[in-house]
Structure 1
Amino acid sequence: SRYQPVWADDVARAVEHSLKEDGPGDHLYELAGPATMTYAEMSELVGLLAGRPRPVIRIPLQLVHLGLTAIHRLVGENAFATWQEAELMRVSMVTDRGTADLESLGVEPRPMAEVLGEY
């Protein structure tokens, strides 16, 4: 699956700008960052920028399902993730509009590497 990670501050600025717009307020915005990445690419980037690169190990979703089900049975609602959340990893979250909606709201979205490089 592919994603277009967008920085929370960019989203906040877009929301703020949209609330100041005149009009009916029923416009749908698709907010996306400037890069399209896989989950593995995002994980590798985080490790690299943290100075702790690690190999990414791909685990079959069936095994993830079994593990999360077992964890949920052990700790209940305190589980760190649910199977439903893990299933979202199968779904690409990209828009054909790219960064157009953010830019129309006066926001120049920052790439994930640039933002994480500041931390």
Structure 2
Amino acid sequence: MPTPWTHADAWVLASLAGTSADNSCALSEVVARADALNHAVLTEPEFTTALARLAAAGLAVAGPDGYALTPAGAALYEDRAGKGGWAESLPVGLRGHGEPPAAEPLALPPGDFDRAVADYQAAVERALS
């Protein structure tokens, strides 16, 4: 039996809101968006597992230029917008999408996630100084 949709799945989906194949975002942007939404920094396993599950479900993509929602992912997000906060409404939308497909976590090059977090944290420090 597959693992049910998780909080991290909804968190990553919400962090990709507003993206598309023509408007992807860098990993450091995903980290920044996630922190803005949940006041916490994603961990690498949270991100790589959630993105792999979302991609296998046809809701998100990882490409050479960054990460984005697919049209189906954007439609799910838009359908749930205004129906409560993302942490309450997106899990409902994900469950309505069916069981998450089994997927191996996304493989990132060694150090990429840590660099993205460091880039984000450096940007925050610059903004605060």
**TM-score normalized with structure 2 length:** 0.24
RCO greater where, 1 or 2, for CA within 8 Å and sep 6 or more? 1
